[in-house]
Amino acid sequence: MLRLEDVTILQDDFSLRAGLEVARGARVAVIGPSGAGKSTLLGAVAGFVPVAQGRILWAGAEMTGQSPAMRPISVLFQDNNLFPHLSAFDNVALGLRPSLRLGVAERAQVAAALARVGLEGLGTRRPAQLSGGQQSRVALARVVLQGKPLVLLDEPFSALGPALKVEMLHLVAEICRETGATLLMVTHDIADARAIADQTILVADGVAEGPFETAQLLANPPEALRAYLG
Ligand code: ADP
Ligand code: MG
C-alpha cells in the first residue's frame, strides 16, 4: 500500500495537502485542472519534490526524505526521457546499469523487455530512427526492466494520436497486471481514466482526494470536477 499521511507540499505560494491510501496493485488515475498540483503530487511520491509536512510510506516503510533512486519507483514522463545519441537497447539498459556495462544475463533481460513492448529486433535504432509510438515503447521497456512495484506516469503518450495513446495505455495496464505493480497515472483526459483506472484521485483547490471509484466519480462528479469536465 502507498500511504500519504497528512502530507503538505509547498512550492512558493502554492500548497497541496494529501492524505490518502492506494492499495497494492491498484491502477489509479490522477485528474484535476491544469496547475492544480498533479505533477507536484507525483513528484513528492517520487522524491523530486520535498514534502513540508507529513509522511509518505510504501508497504509500511517510510520513504519521505529518501532520494528518488532509493525509492521502489519507476517514473515515465511525458517526454519519455530518452537519450538521442544512444540506441534503443542502451536507453533501456540504462534502467539497469547506468554504466551500460552489462553481463550476458543482463543483456538478455534488456532484450526480453524490448520484446515485451513489441520492439524485438529494433534495439540498435536510435530514438530518431523510431516512430513516436516506438519511442514510447522504449521508455516503457525501461520501466518493465526496472520491475519496481510502484509505477508513476505523468501525462504519458500525450504526444501520440488518440488511437496509439489508448493502445499504449492498455499495454501499460497489461504490464502492471502481469507484474502486480501499482500504477498512478496523471492525465487530463477523462477517457484515459476510464480506459485503465478503476480508481481516481482528484486534485483540485489545494487538496488531493480519493481514490474514488472512477465510474462513480464520473457519474456523480463533485463541484471541482464538474467545473473541470465542463
Ligand atoms: P499540474 O500538473 O496539475 O498541471 P503542477 O503540479 O505542475 O500542476 O503545478 C502546481 C502548482 O505548483 C502551479 O501553481 C505551479 O505554478 C507551481 N509549481 C510547479 N513547479 C514549481 C516549482 N518548481 N517552483 C514553484 N512553483 C511550482
Ligand atoms: Mg502536470
pLDDT at 95: 87
What's this model's pTM, rounded to 2 decimal places? 0.92
Q: 86: which 3 cell numbers?
A: 544512444
Give every CB contact of residue 220 below 8 A, 6+ residues apart in sequence. Answer: none
**What residue ranges of the chain have pLDDT lower than 70?**
230
pLDDT at 103: 95
pLDDT at 212: 96
**Arithmetic mean of pLDDT over the chain:** 93
Q: What is the pLDDT of residues 107-129, one digit of tens each?
A: 999 999 999 999 999 999 999 99
Residue 105 CA to ligand 1 center (angstroms) comes to 41
pLDDT at 223: 83
Does any ligand 1 atom lie closer than 6 A to the CB of residue 83? no
How, if at all, do strands 61-62 and 53-58 pair?
Answer: antiparallel
Does any ligand 1 atom lie closer than 6 A to the CB of residue 48? no
Mutate to test the pocket of ligand 1, among 10, 11, 201 (most ligand atoms within 8 A of CB): 11
pLDDT at 230: 67
162-179 helix and 132-146 helix, angle to the nearest 10 degrees? 10
